[in-house]
Amino acid sequence: MQGWFSGLTLARKQAVWAWVFLAVPLAFFTLVRFWPALDAFALSLSRWNLVGPRKYVGLANYERMAADPVFWQVLGNTFEYLLLGLPASLLLAFLVAFHLDRIQTGQGLLRALYFLPHLTTATAMAWVWRWFYQPPPVGLLNAWLTALGFAQQPFLRSTTQALPAVLVPAIWAALGFQVVIFMAGLKAIPRSYYEAAEIDGAGSWQILREITLPLLLPSLVFLFITTSIGLLRIFDLVYNITAGGEGGPLNATKPLVLSIYQSAFGRMDMGYASAQTVVLFVILLALSLLQMRLLRSRP
């Protein structure tokens, strides 16, 4: 052993040591992450209640899913979170970062304030917002609406307003992180581009469209993907903000992950939960592949 190792070149020795160190986390990861994940595929073809024996049922879980109106509603909700939340969230973050980048005094403090919600636990935040949305006299928002002479709103109790109402704190929570990423991207653009454009007489719209946004593309793609994944996996906020963790009136706010959770740990239907997990996995995988494509095709 000693002789074998000392016979290697320096580069090989370093490689051997690197593999020795990497093997430990790799084994751990395989055990606690990859294996259960792979097992989920097998599980999605079975029926299992967590304690009894596993029974192979073929594609029965998927057939059941396709025929389940609640599944389709939940999938629709998930994409509604994505399609409403993504543009709103990125636009808002860009506007904040863009203007924050222009001010000199208090920039650090303001950025820290925007970042703060990112450090808060979703559960605590959910409960605070849940209180905001309560009907009067408890709810803050309705109290304000009344004070300003507007009609009261049902918010979480309405099938149409509940989902956007859940989305607002989700966007607010993600804002800090996105602002920080956007600001880093903006700061990386050399000042001389703006100065050259100023001398060239470009208006702010031309500068934004032809210089700032193209140079911000890497940050934009990164946030596009991370935000999408975050929205597609939305769970703890919904679970805590809706009464009893049920997913809103008539499942109005229920996202896919909450549905998976309920199938698995509410009804002990591990096979059905796994089948839904596989669907989510496929969506996330497609999105990640899209990201790699977008980043690579960049000039």
Partner 1 sequence: MASVTLRGIRKDFGRTQVIKGIDLAIEDKEFVVFVGPSGCGKSTLLRLIAGLEDATAGDILIGGRTVNTVAPKDRNIAMVFQNYALYPPMTVARNLGFGLRAARLPAAEIDRRVNEAAAMLGLETLLARRPGELSGGQRQRVAMGRALVRDPQVFLFDEPLSNLDAQLRNQVRTEIKKLHQQIRTTAIYVTHDQVEAMTLADRIVLLRDGRIEQVGTPTDLFERPANRFVAGFIGSPAMNFFPARLDGAEIVLPWMRLPCPPFATAPTDGRITLGIRPEDFLAGTDTHAVPEACRFEAQVGVVEPMGSESLLVINAAGTDIQVRLIGRAFPQTGSTLGFAVNPAELHVFDAATGNTLRR
Residues that bind partner 1 (CB under 8 A): 190, 192-193, 195-203, 206, 210-211, 214-215, 217, 299
Q: How far is the CB of 98 from partner 1 (least distance, A)?
A: 18
Query: Could you give the CA distance from residue 194 to residue 106 in angstroms, rounded to a whole number?
Result: 23
151 vs 199, beta carbon nearer partner 1: 199
Q: Is 217 helix (H, G, I), strand (E, B) or coil?
A: helix
120 vs 206, beta carbon nearer partner 1: 206
CA angle 184, 186, 191 (to 5 degrees): 125
Query: Could you give the CA distance from residue 299 to residue 297 in angstroms, rounded to a whole number?
Result: 6
Asked if 178 and 227 count as a contact pair (C-beta separation under 8 A), the reply is yes
**CB neighbour class for 5 (10 Å; exposed up to 12, middle 13-18, buried from 19):** exposed
53 vs 201, beta carbon nearer partner 1: 201
Query: Could you give the CA distance from residue 258 to residue 277 in angstroms, rounded to a whole number?
Result: 11
Q: How far is the CB of 214 from partner 1 (least distance, A)?
A: 4
Closest CA to 94 of 212, 210, 192, 194: 212
39 vs 198, beta carbon nearer partner 1: 198
Q: How far is the CB of 188 from partner 1 (least distance, A)?
A: 12
Q: How far is the CB of 298 from partner 1 (least distance, A)?
A: 9
Q: How far is the CB of 191 from partner 1 (least distance, A)?
A: 9
- How far apart, in Å, are the Cα atoms of 208 and each of 94, 189, 224? 12, 12, 19
Query: Could you give the CA distance from residue 184 to residue 29 in angstroms, rounded to a whole number?
Result: 32
2 vs 105, beta carbon nearer partner 1: 105
CB neighbour list of residue 138: distance below 8 Å, 6 or more residues apart? 131
Residues in the chain: 299
Residue carrying the six token digits 């999605």: 44
177 vs 224, beta carbon nearer partner 1: 224
Q: How far is the CB of 30 from partner 1 (least distance, A)?
A: 41
52 vs 201, beta carbon nearer partner 1: 201
Q: How far is the CB of 204 from partner 1 (least distance, A)?
A: 11
